[in-house]
A and B are shown apart, each in its own frame.
Chain A
C-alpha cells in the first residue's frame, strides 16, 4: 500500500512503449504524464504501482492496439473499469500498462431478444435505465451499481442484493467479446466449451473483456420490503435459515451488524435501530400480490420466532430509504477507520449462525473493529477489519483476516462470493484450493497468457516448486 513518495517519474515520451502507443492510438487516448499515471494505481481498497502509461480506448480495435504495444514492450497489462473493486484487482502490482475502459460506453438494447449489448465501460445502472422504457431490467445490482462498470462486474463476477433469487452477473451473460494476451479478438458464447464462463470472474488475468451481450428480464410487478432487528447476530442468521427452510424465496436478504447500522446512521440519519446487534433487510417480489405477501409473512414469522422485531416498509419511499442504507454501508465504514481489509466469504446457509458468531468472537478478542454485513440469503458475508495504517500493525490485520477466512473454509465455505480474490485474498487460496486443482488453474493461466503479462500478481498464489 506504499504511496511511493518521490517516486521516479518513470518514462518520458521517448520510452519505447509510449512511442509505440502513440503510433497506434490517438494522442488523447494515451496518458503519459505523472499526474495522469498516478491516478491509475488504485481501486477502492488498495494502492499499487504507478503504471508506465494509461490507455483510454474507445473501441475494441483500440484495446487490441494497446495489448499489442504492451506485448511488444514486454510489460504487464491491467484492465480497469471504475476501480470501485474491493480486492485490489485493478491495482497494478508492477509498472506496466493500465487500460481504463471508462470511455467505452456504447450500449444498445434489443427489446425483441431481451438483450443488451454493452461495451465494457458502461455503468451498471445505465443498462437497467436504458432497458426500463422497454419494460425490462438487468437484475445484477452490486452496491456500487451507480459507479461500477459492466467490465468490472464481469471481471469480478459481481453479485449484489438480488443474487439470492436472481443470480449474479455471470448468470446474465449470453456472449462475450474478449481480447486475449496476443491481442486476438474472440467472440465467446455459452455453447460447447463455456469459455465465456472461464473469463467471467477471472479478474483480467486471462483476457480483457471488451463487450458483452446481457440477458434482460421483465421486472416483477410487486415488491414488498421489511426490516427486522435482533438483539444478537446469530439470531438474525437463524431467522434467515428458518425463513428459507419454510419455503420463502425472497429476492433480497441483507444483513448489517450494529457497527454498520451506526456508520450508515451517522451518514444518512434514516432512523435505523442503533441499539440492535443485527439488522435484516428483506424484499419479496413477484407478479402475484398474495404470493408476495405470503412470502413476506413467512419471513416475518421466522424473524419473530428467532427473537427479532419486525418493521414493514409502508411505502416505496420508505423501502428505498432502507435500501439506500444497505448500499451505503461499504463506503460509510470509512468514517470509522480509514482503511479496511474486506472479506467476501460465502458459507452454506445452515452454517450461518455458527459462522457469524465465530467471526464476532474473533473480532471481539482482537484489538480491531470487525464489522459484518452481506447478502446473507446466499450465505455471502463481508466481515471487514477496520484499521488505521498509521497506528495498526498490517501483519496483525492480515493474520486476523486469515483466521476469518479459515472459519469460512472450516464450515464448507469459499473465499469469494463476489469481490474476487485479487491481491487481498491471494495468499488464502492455498487453504481453499488443493494443490492439484491449483496446478490446473495455473495450466489454464499459462495456456491463455504464456508470458504472464495479464494482471500479474492476482488470484493465483505463486507455485511452490519441487
Chain B
C-alpha cells in the first residue's frame, strides 16, 4: 500500500510504521485469523482495515478519534502476522502507532486514572499482590459493580497464594551445563508464584545455574502495547542496564507476553543510540520452552517420571508465544516427552483467548466472548489438564473453564514438567 508516512512521522518509529504499511497488499488473507473480525464481521475491525485506518490517520486523511475505537479493539494477538504471506509486521505497526498516537488522545479523567492505575499496579508485584487480596474480598460484590471494575475481579483466582521471592542465584544440581539469566515477571509473581518456582526447579535439575539479575523490572510490554511509550522506554532501559547478555547462555522468560516484549527491544529503540545494545540483548532472549527444548534435542534433558495414568493435555498456544515469537513445536515436544502424556490440539487454536495483556480489563465484553469461545474449544478435547505458557492466558482460561463447569487443572507447561519430575503427575 502506497503511503506518505515517512514524511509525516520522521525518525525510527515512522520508518517502522511506513515499512509495515508498504508491505500490505490488502489481499484479505488476514481476515480469518483475526478474533475481532470473527466476532464483529466488519472491515474496520480486521487487520487489513486497521492498517488502512492507521495509514490514513498518519497521513492526516482521517481524524485519530474516528479510528481509535477500532484500533482499541485490536488485541495485538498477531494471529494476522502468522497468516500474512506478504510478511507485514503488523505487531510492530500497531505498537509503534499506539506509542505515537497516545499523547494525542483525548481521554476522560476516569479513563486516564484507570489506565494509569493498571500500568502502575501491574509491574509492581507487591502492590499487585495487595490489590489482588483486596480484590478477593471484594469479589462477592462484583455483580453490583460497573463492568470496568467487575472484569478484573471476575478474572481473579479463588485463592491468591503467598509470594515466593526468587533467590538471586539458584545453583545447578549435579554437573553444571549452563548459566542463564531469568526475568521473574510481574503479575505472575503475585498470582501464580509456582510458575517461577517450577522453572527454577526444572532448570536446576537439568544442570542449569539460574541468576536473577538485580535491578531488573517489568519488561515494559504492557506499557508499550497500550501506547505509554515513555514509561515503556524507562523500563526497557532499566532492563538493558540490569542484564549483561555476555554473561549468560540465554536470558529466559516463562511468560510469553514478557518474552515477546523483550524480543521487541530493538524495534522500540529503532534509530536510538542504544539500539545495538538492544539487539545484543534480544539475541539472547528465549522462552523457557525454547531453552528446555534445545536441551531435549541435544539429549541433555533429564527424562521425567511417567504419569501415574494416561493423561490428555490440551495445549493452548499463547498468542505471544505462537504468533509473536513463532514458538509452537517446543512446548508440545516437552509435554510429549513425559511418558503417558498425549497432547491434544485445540480447535480454532490460532484464535486469541481474549486475555491479551490488559485487553480483558479495557474491552471486557469482547474479551469475555473470546474467553468463552476458547473455553468451549478447549473443553471439546475432554482434557485431563490444560497447559499454556503465559500468565494472561492462564488467568483468562482458568476463569472461563471454571465458569463452563470444568475442574481440569490449568498449568504452565513447565509446571507439568516439574510435576512429572516430582512423580506428581
Give A40 to B87 CA distance when docked, in angstroms: 23
Contact A100/B25 with A334-B86, A338-B2 known, Cβ cut-off 8 Å: no
Give A448 to B85 CA distance when docked, in angstroms: 40
Give A339 to B26 CA distance when docked, in angstroms: 10
Residue of A nearest to B71 (CB): A35
**Could you say which of B4, B29, B53, B61 has the most chain A C-beta atoms within 10 Å of its C-beta?**
B29
B59 interface residue, CB < 8 Å from A? yes
B32 interface residue, CB < 8 Å from A? yes
B141 interface residue, CB < 8 Å from A? no
B8 to chain A, nearest CB (A): 11
Contact A3/B86 with A38-B53, A39-B43, A334-B25 known, Cβ cut-off 8 Å: no
A103 interface residue, CB < 8 Å from B? yes
A401 to chain B, nearest CB (A): 17
Q: Which B326-351 residues have a C-beta within 8 angstroms of A?
A: none
Residue of B nearest to A41 (CB): B52
Q: B67 to A331, Cβ gap below 8 A?
A: no
B409 interface residue, CB < 8 Å from A? no
Give A247 to B44 CA distance when docked, in angstroms: 50
Interchain CB contact (< 8 A) of B66 among A34, A105, A332, A339: A34
Surface stretch bound by B, among A4-12, A165-173, A347-355, A360-368: A4-12
Chain A residues, CB < 8 A from B25: 44, 331, 333-334, 338-340
Q: B32 to A331, Cβ gap below 8 A?
A: no
Give A36 to B63 CA distance when docked, in angstroms: 12
B1 interface residue, CB < 8 Å from A? yes
**Could you say which of B4, B26, B60, B87 has the most chain A C-beta atoms within 10 Å of its C-beta?**
B26
Contact A35/B44 with A5-B61, A44-B28, A334-B27 known, Cβ cut-off 8 Å: yes
User: A144-186 interface mask toward B, CB cutoff 8 Å, 1 = contact, 0 = none?
Assistant: 1011100000000000000000000000000000000000000
A428 interface residue, CB < 8 Å from B? no
A231 to chain B, nearest CB (A): 27
Chain B residues, CB < 8 A from A33: 66
A380 interface residue, CB < 8 Å from B? no
B299 to chain A, nearest CB (A): 25
Give A29 to B132 CA distance when docked, in angstroms: 41
Q: B53 to A331, Cβ gap below 8 A?
A: no
User: B19-57 interface mask toward A, CB cutoff 8 Å, 1 = contact, 0 = none?
Assistant: 000111111110110000000011110000100110010
B139 interface residue, CB < 8 Å from A? no
A13 to chain B, nearest CB (A): 14
Contact A35/B85 with A6-B61, A330-B27, A334-B27 known, Cβ cut-off 8 Å: no
Residue of B nearest to A86 (CB): B27
B238 interface residue, CB < 8 Å from A? no
Residue of A nearest to B69 (CB): A35
Q: B56 to A331, Cβ gap below 8 A?
A: no
Chain B residues, CB < 8 A from A3: 2, 56, 59, 61
B70 interface residue, CB < 8 Å from A? yes
Chain A residues, CB < 8 A from B27: 44, 84, 144, 147, 330-331, 334
Residue of B nearest to A1 (CB): B2
Residue of A nearest to B83 (CB): A146
**Could you say which of B31, B67, B70 has the most chain A C-beta atoms within 10 Å of its C-beta?**
B31
Interchain CB contact (< 8 A) of B85 among A4, A82, A334, A390: A334
**Could you say which of B1, B27, B53, B66 has the most chain A C-beta atoms within 10 Å of its C-beta?**
B27
B62 interface residue, CB < 8 Å from A? yes
Give A63 to B27 CA distance when docked, in angstroms: 25
Give A33 to B63 CA distance when docked, in angstroms: 11
Residue of B nearest to A121 (CB): B41
Interface range on chain B: under 10, 10 to 19, 20 to 34, or 35 or more? 20 to 34
Contact A35/B62 with A44-B28, A389-B2, A390-B2 known, Cβ cut-off 8 Å: yes
Q: A147 to B28, Cβ gap below 8 A?
A: yes
A102 interface residue, CB < 8 Å from B? yes
Chain B residues, CB < 8 A from A330: 27, 85
Q: B62 to A5, Cβ gap below 8 A?
A: no
Q: A338 to B41, Cβ gap below 8 A?
A: no
Residue of B nearest to A263 (CB): B85
Q: B31 to A147, Cβ gap below 8 A?
A: yes
Chain B residues, CB < 8 A from A147: 27-29, 31-32
Residue of A nearest to B50 (CB): A39
Chain A residues, CB < 8 A from B23: 334-335, 338
Q: A5 to B86, Cβ gap below 8 A?
A: no
Give A44 to B69 CA distance when docked, in angstroms: 25
Q: B41 to A103, Cβ gap below 8 A?
A: yes
Q: B43 to A100, Cβ gap below 8 A?
A: yes
Chain A residues, CB < 8 A from B85: 267, 328, 330-332, 334
A208 interface residue, CB < 8 Å from B? no
A56 interface residue, CB < 8 Å from B? yes
**Could you say which of A1, A103, A331, A332 has the most chain B C-beta atoms within 10 Å of its C-beta?**
A331
Residue of A nearest to B70 (CB): A35
Q: Which A272-302 residues have a C-beta within 8 angstroms of B?
A: none
Chain B residues, CB < 8 A from A5: 4, 59-61
Give A33 to B62 CA distance when docked, in angstroms: 10
A123 interface residue, CB < 8 Å from B? yes
User: B60-101 interface mask toward A, CB cutoff 8 Å, 1 = contact, 0 = none?
Assistant: 111100110110000000000000111100000000000000
Chain B residues, CB < 8 A from A100: 42-43
Give A31 to B25 CA distance when docked, in angstroms: 24
Give A121 to B42 CA distance when docked, in angstroms: 12
Give A339 to B1 CA distance when docked, in angstroms: 8
Residue of B nearest to A6 (CB): B61
User: A99-142 interface mask toward B, CB cutoff 8 Å, 1 = contact, 0 = none?
Assistant: 01011010000000000000001010000000000000000000
Give A259 to B400 CA distance when docked, in angstroms: 48
Give A144 to B27 CA distance when docked, in angstroms: 9
Q: B56 to A38, Cβ gap below 8 A?
A: yes
User: A367-386 interface mask toward B, CB cutoff 8 Å, 1 = contact, 0 = none?
Assistant: 00000000000000000000
A83 interface residue, CB < 8 Å from B? yes
Residue of B nearest to A56 (CB): B42
A255 interface residue, CB < 8 Å from B? no
Interchain CB contact (< 8 A) of B62 among A34, A83, A121, A144: A34
Chain A residues, CB < 8 A from B26: 42-44, 83
Chain B residues, CB < 8 A from A390: 2
Q: Which A19-42 residues have a C-beta within 8 angstroms of B?
A: 31, 33-36, 38-40, 42
Chain B residues, CB < 8 A from A6: 60-61
Residue of B nearest to A31 (CB): B42
Q: B41 to A102, Cβ gap below 8 A?
A: yes
Give A40 to B23 CA distance when docked, in angstroms: 20
Chain A residues, CB < 8 A from B62: 34-35, 38
Residue of A nearest to B60 (CB): A6
Q: A82 to B28, Cβ gap below 8 A?
A: yes
Q: B44 to A82, Cβ gap below 8 A?
A: no
Chain A residues, CB < 8 A from B22: 338
Residue of A nearest to B42 (CB): A56
Q: Which B278-308 residues have a C-beta within 8 angstroms of A?
A: none
User: A441-456 interface mask toward B, CB cutoff 8 Å, 1 = contact, 0 = none?
Assistant: 0000000000000000
Chain B residues, CB < 8 A from A102: 41-43
Give A40 to B49 CA distance when docked, in angstroms: 9
Chain A residues, CB < 8 A from B86: 331-332, 334-335
Q: A82 to B31, Cβ gap below 8 A?
A: yes
Give A340 to B25 CA distance when docked, in angstroms: 9
B88 to chain A, nearest CB (A): 8
B17 to chain A, nearest CB (A): 15
Give A5 to B56 CA distance when docked, in angstroms: 8
30 residue pairs of the A-B complex, CB under 8 angstroms, read A4-B61, A5-B59, A5-B60, A6-B60, A6-B61, A35-B53, A35-B69, A36-B43, A36-B44, A38-B61, A39-B44, A40-B43, A44-B26, A83-B43, A100-B42, A102-B41, A121-B41, A123-B32, A144-B28, A147-B28, A147-B32, A148-B28, A267-B85, A267-B87, A331-B25, A332-B85, A334-B23, A335-B86, A338-B1, A338-B25
A-B interface, 3 closest residue pairs, ranked by CB to CB distance from nearest: A334-B25, A334-B86, A331-B85
What 6 new A-B contacts, CB under 8 Å, besides A83-B26, A267-B85? A31-B44, A38-B61, A39-B53, A267-B87, A334-B24, A339-B25
